[in-house]
Structure formats: structure tokens, C-alpha cells
Amino acid sequence: MIKQLKNSKKLSLIFLSSLLFLTACDSQSSSTEINTSQTVLNESVEKTQDTNKETLKEDTMNKSKLLSAEALQALEDSDQYRWLEEVQGEKALAWVEEKNKASLGYLEALPKHAELSAKNLAAYDSKERIAYPSFSGDYVYNFWKDETHTRGISRRTSLKDYLTGNPKWETVIDIDAISKVENKNWVYKGSSCLYPEYTRCILNLSDGGTDAVVRREYDLNTQKFVDGGFVLPESKGSIAWLDKDTLMVGIDFGPESMTDSGYPKITKLWKRGTDISEATTIFTGEQTDVGVWPFVGNTPEGQYAFISRSTSFYTGEVHYLKDGNLTKLDLPEDIEFDGIFKDQMMLQLKSDWEVGGQNLNQGALVSIGFENFLSGKRNFTVVREPTERSSIAGTSTTQDFLFVNVLNNVRSELYKYTYAHGSWTSELVSTPELGTLSVVAANDKANDFFYTYNGFLSPTTMYYVDDAGKQNKIKSLPDFFDASKYKVEQFESTSKDGTQIPYFMISAKDIKLDGKNPTLMYGYGGFEVSIRPGYKSTVGIDWLEQGGVYVSTNIRGGGEFGPKWHQSALNEKRPRAFEDFISIAEDLIERKVTSPKHLGIDGRSNGGLLVGAIYTMRPDLFNAAVCGVPLLDMKRYNKLLAGASWMAEYGDPDIAEEWDFIKDYSPYHNLKKDKEYPKVFFYTSTKDDRVHPGHARKMVALMEEYGHDYYYYENTEGGHAGSSNNKQTAHLNALIYTYLIDQLMPKSTE
């Protein structure tokens, strides 16, 4: 059931983050990694509702602490580029077209662009890609994109046939065909299917890649939309099946139904054959909540229906629905509810908890009999407790086993847990070492599962583990670049406060430490998202093979070492993430790996904020900056699209004390006219309804006013991922790396 809950509750918040911001959709990732099964996606967003009790401020809404109306208005009036926040405004789109034309005219004409774009697309469309599986009912399903199916198809086969390596697929959903018939630019955002057959589904269809989706009932057996079936208008939110004729629905029901963050605050029960206006309200949250999410899990022991109320990005409540009655679970508001398995309620702690005479430690995974808990007992059992340099990266279940994915110094280990006679026993699963592991599909009707392994220089390999625990290698990605010429090293820098910050460096084996190596640093540093070793074809093709060095950073704000690592860079502590990143840059320069002339930085979304803050703070350290789908105006971020949901991460800029620390790093407010900056490459998407494209637009307008050079590209579709198909992704990555080559590669005169 844990997997099912992550497919509902967790996925309802997937686009708040990568966990706000999906690192799975990192523009540096090849589509061989992007187009994985839904279960892979689940692992990448396991952190999206992780919590942080110690950052709560009971007086946050104290009006005496708010900036005065006059001060707020003055800040609003001083922003002359507010008109660029009109996403589809005629003037704004004309501005976008002009900037695109100028930047693309230069970048696409550079010698490497066409070559890299073609190589990227060949990798993304490769027939040798892994068809990542997911178990649903009696079938193995896979979602697939290639040059013929640019928008993708969902297909299925039997497990036996899948394991042959050459399965006969049956296409059950053809997004390209649906788009053509309906003359729509549909992007598939997954589906919610009815247990236990999983053949009656609600499809999530996005117009151009937005987070808001249209939901329509579909029959996988007939391969048609259901006549008179459930249809919901475009909205952010979620649904959950109670039975064939009943849905729990959280969408935009009209006025007063959405929170300040733009997510549903109401959950209703909707019966088949009735109009949505007749649905019965069963829960209503508050206007200031992030959102309210219904989710349902099914196990052999029975069905469990819940409603999650997110009071902030890291706090909330879970309500149990049974026989029409709701019971609020007596849990800390910052705890992560991880589902029910073998009648055990699974919980991950984000802070220490003293309960029932026990002291449960931050970061631990614990369990308790669900019925016992409802009856008032508090006899928790510790399943796993991480160490100072380890964390729990994810959990998944088969019929009888709980699997816990552990990060140990940013390297994966997989443990199998068995629950019997009131206690848990564990064993380490034999897997490849020194890379990243992910359980991509687990069978809830048996004990078999699939997992993948990959590293910076090791293409993803998928393994099948049968009921008896025997492992078989199913398929490996081809080598999209010759990895034999490169090496991976892990180093640590010393941050400003003395904290040791790990990072990985991928370079040629015969690298010369002469300060001239073009080097690209990638960072994120937020929302407890862990940046793990991973094979990225575009990094190899577009950068390593061009003579570059690639650095992957594990700065604070991420989840590499659990909740404490995340919480050490929240709110007023945000500068710790920036200091960590700067310390790595300085360490690379001190080691003579590179020099400021040849050093570039890259980040998207929250990582785009990182890049924006760094290049305005220390432009002397870098000669290139890739700033993707970024937050940059930190005065107005909470008023733009989903921004209000992130105030637990950054703080509330409308509160004087909090604006005092936010304004010190807000890139839009720290750009100076009389300062020299690297020539930044910004990219965003008109269809991004998560991080507003106005952030990048306004920053570029201000840079132009101040006379600073830049490149700018805004895709008119693609959503927060920046692109919606393989061709667009190939083109975007070619733009990014062509820019980096042009900025950082040593010139022949050196």
C-alpha cells in the first residue's frame, strides 16, 4: 500500500516541489531517464511533503509583523516590469518573441549546436532504451516515447512476455492519436486506476505541459474514453477511487474552493451518474493552506481512505475516512505519513518525538499497528534509524516485504525488511555498489520486483528479482558516450561555517590541473531533494566529450543526510546553501581544476534561484550561468502561481522580519548596474504554471536596462520541465551546452 499512497497523496503534491521541483525532469537528464515508469517518478518525489517542525512560527500571521500597506505598495510600484507577469499578454509575448529571436539566432548558428542537437535526439529516441515496467493488475505497463510517438503511448504485456526481452506490446493509450483527433497539444501526466484490476482509469491530460490537467475516465480494455464517464475540467488537484462508482475529488470547484497557493481546499464525494455540482463536500481546509488531497490505498487486509490537509509545505494533518466519518490522526504536524503495510502504519520523522515513553529520533522510520494506534496505543517500533551521514531515500513494498532505499554518503544501499510477531528483521540486498539504486516496480500480488542501478559513468541497468530472491539482469542502456576515458572522484569542501560539503567530480583520467579545464557545477539545495549520482547522456555527449569537467554538488537544503541537512538551509538559514556552493567553487579553483574564466554554474527551479543568488553575489567566480525555470523575484514569488506554498522553505516576504533576510539574496533585488556579471543564459516556459515565467522575464528586462549581456529562451510549451517531447529536450540541451562551450572552453590563443 505504501506504493499506492505515493501514487496518490504524494503525487498530488508532486508538482509543488522537484519535489516542489522535479529533479527527475532536470534538463540535464536524458529522456532515457525522464520517460521512466510512474514508480521511478515516485522515488524522485518522495521528499515533496517532508516536514520541518522547528521552522514553524506561530506568530507568522501576526498582523503587527506585516510590512505596512504603504511599504508593500511602494515595493509594488517600484517594479516597472510587472507587465511581464501577464503570461499570455500581447505585449509580453511580443517581448518574448523578440528575445527568443535574438538569442536563438546566435546560439543556433554556433558550430556545435546542430551536431549536439542531433546526437541528443538520437540518444533520446534510441530503440535501445529501457522500457521501464510498472505492475498493475495482471499486466506489466510501460509508457513510451520515440520519433513515431512523440507524445507517447501507454502499452502493456504479461510479466512472462516482458521477461523474454522482446515482448509483444499492446497499446492501450495513444496520446498522439488522441491529440490529433481532438486537435489538442496533450501531454500525458499519468493516470489513477481502479483497484484491483487497474483497467478503469482517470487519465490526466495537460494542455502543453501545465500542472493543471483535464481528467477523463478511460477503459484500458476497450481503449476508449468511457461514454458518460467521469470527466473533470482543467485544474490542479487530485482524485481517488473509493469504488467503481465513487470518487473522492479535490479540484477547482469555483469561487472559494482553492487556496492562496492555487490548490484545492475542498474534497468532495462524487457519485457516477450525477452532475459534479451535486457532489457532497466531506472536508474543507483553510484559505491559507497549501492544499487538501484525498488519497486511497488498498491492501489484502482492506481499503484505507484518507484526506491530507497541508497547512504548509512541511506541515499538515491526516484524516482517516471510514463509514462516512473522519478521524484526525494524532500525529506531529511535521511527520511524513508513509501508508499502511501489514496493518502497520509507517511514519518518517522530521524531528525528534517523545511519545509513549519513547524518544524517537529525527529521520527515523517507525511503525505501529494502525488499529492499535486508533485505539490509543503508542507502542511504536523503530524500523530503521539513519546515521549522521545517511538518510532514507525511499520505501516500497511487495506482498510480504518492505524495501528501504538508504543513502550512505550519497551512495545507495537497499534493505529488505520483514514484519513478523511484532518486530522487523532486515537484510542487505546484494546490489551493485557506489551508484544510485531505485526500485522501479514492486508487485503487490507477489514478492518480485524490478530495480535499476546507474552511476555517472554507468548507464542504467535494470534487474529483476523473482519471488525466491534470484536476480536477473534484464537490460542495460547502451553507452551513449565512451565512459572509459573518464573518472569519478568524491571530494569535500569546507563551507564558511566549517561544515564539510561533499561533491562529485567527473573528469578525464588524464586531467591536467592547470586551472584551464572548462568546468560545470550543478546544484539544487532545497526541499530535501537529494542529488544522487546518475547517468546523463547529455552530460557525456555535450560536455565531457567536448573536454569539460562536470561537478555534482550535495549542498545543504537537500536531503542527502536527512531532515537535518535540509533544515540547516531553511528560511533565514538559506545563505548556508549559497555558501556551500561557493565553497565548492573555491575548492575547485584551489585544486587548480579550473579558474573563474572557465567555471560555469547550472541549476533549474529552486536551483535556478541558487544560480541567480550566486551570480549576483559572486560574479567574480564564474564566466557562465545557466538559470532554468527560476525563482528570481523573491518579493513577489508568493503571489505568483504556486509560490505561496513555498513560504515554509523561503519565508514570507510580506513579513518585515522575514523580508529582511530574503532581500539579502533575492536576485532581482540584488542586481547592480555598475557591477560586471557573466553572460547568463536564462530559459523558461510560457506553459510553466508552477514557477511563473515572469521571474526570468523580469530579470532579463532589468539586465537589459542595466546594460548586462544575456541569452534568453522561452519555450511556448513544455511546462515546468521546459520541454514536452524528445525533440524539444534535445534542442534545449544543445542550446545550453553550446552556450557553455562558447563561454568556457579555452580559446586557441590561450
Q: What is the pLDDT of residue 748?
A: 53
Helix ranges restricted to H, 84-174:
90-107, 111-124, 159-162
Average pLDDT over residues 32-43: 30
DSSP 625-693: EEEES----TTTGGGSGGGGGGHHHH--TTBHHHHHHHTTT-HHHH--TTS----EEEEEETT-SSS-T
**622 and 585 in contact (C-beta within 8 Å)?**
yes
Residue 567 has pLDDT above 70, yes or no: yes
Give the CA-trace dihedral at 371, 372, 377, 381, to 10 degrees: -110
Residue 16 has pLDDT above 90, yes or no: no
Terminal alpha carbon distance of the chain: 60
CA dihedral sign, ordered 102, 103, 108, 110: positive
718 Cβ contact list (under 8 Å, min separation 6): 208, 209, 685, 687, 688, 724, 728
Q: What is the pLDDT of residue 74?
A: 74
Q: How confident is the model at residue 750 (pLDDT cuts 50, 70, 90)?
A: low
Q: What is the pLDDT of residue 725?
A: 84
In one letter, which amino acid is 258?
M
Our answer to whether residue 476 is catalytic in this structure is no
Give the CA-trace dihedral at 149, 18, 703, 739, to 10 degrees: -50
**Residue 430 DSSP one-character state:** -
Average pLDDT over residues 385-414: 95
Q: What is the pLDDT of residue 62?
A: 43
**259 and 309 in contact (C-beta within 8 Å)?**
no
Q: How confident is the model at residue 301 (pLDDT cuts 50, 70, 90)?
A: confident
Spot the catalytic one: 29, 367, 605, 645.
Answer: 605
Q: How confident is the model at residue 721 (pLDDT cuts 50, 70, 90)?
A: confident
| Domain 1-53+93-124+516-750 CATH (choose: 3.90.1300.10, 3.90.550.10, 3.40.50.1820, 2.40.160.20) | 3.40.50.1820
Average pLDDT over residues 712-732: 84
Average pLDDT over residues 421-447: 93
Spot the catalytic one: 720, 723, 724, 731.
Answer: 720
**290 and 312 in contact (C-beta within 8 Å)?**
yes
Set of cell numbers at residue 408:
550512505
Our answer to whether residue 720 is catalytic in this structure is yes
3-state secondary structure 355-422: ECCEEECCCCEEEEEHHHHHCCCCCCEEEECCCCCEEEEEEEECCCEEEEEEEECCCEEEEEEEEECC
Domain boundaries, the chain: 1-53+93-124+516-750, 244-322
Q: What is the pLDDT of residue 433?
A: 82
Share of the chain above pLDDT 70, in %: 90
Q: What is the pLDDT of residue 611?
A: 98
Average pLDDT over residues 545-551: 98
Q: What is the pLDDT of residue 34?
A: 27
Q: What pTM was estimated for this model as a whole?
A: 0.86
In this predicted model, what pLDDT tens digit does every residue of 201-234 receive, in sequence order? 999 999 988 999 999 999 999 999 999 999 999 9
Residue 17 has pLDDT above 50, yes or no: no
Q: How confident is the model at residue 722 (pLDDT cuts 50, 70, 90)?
A: low
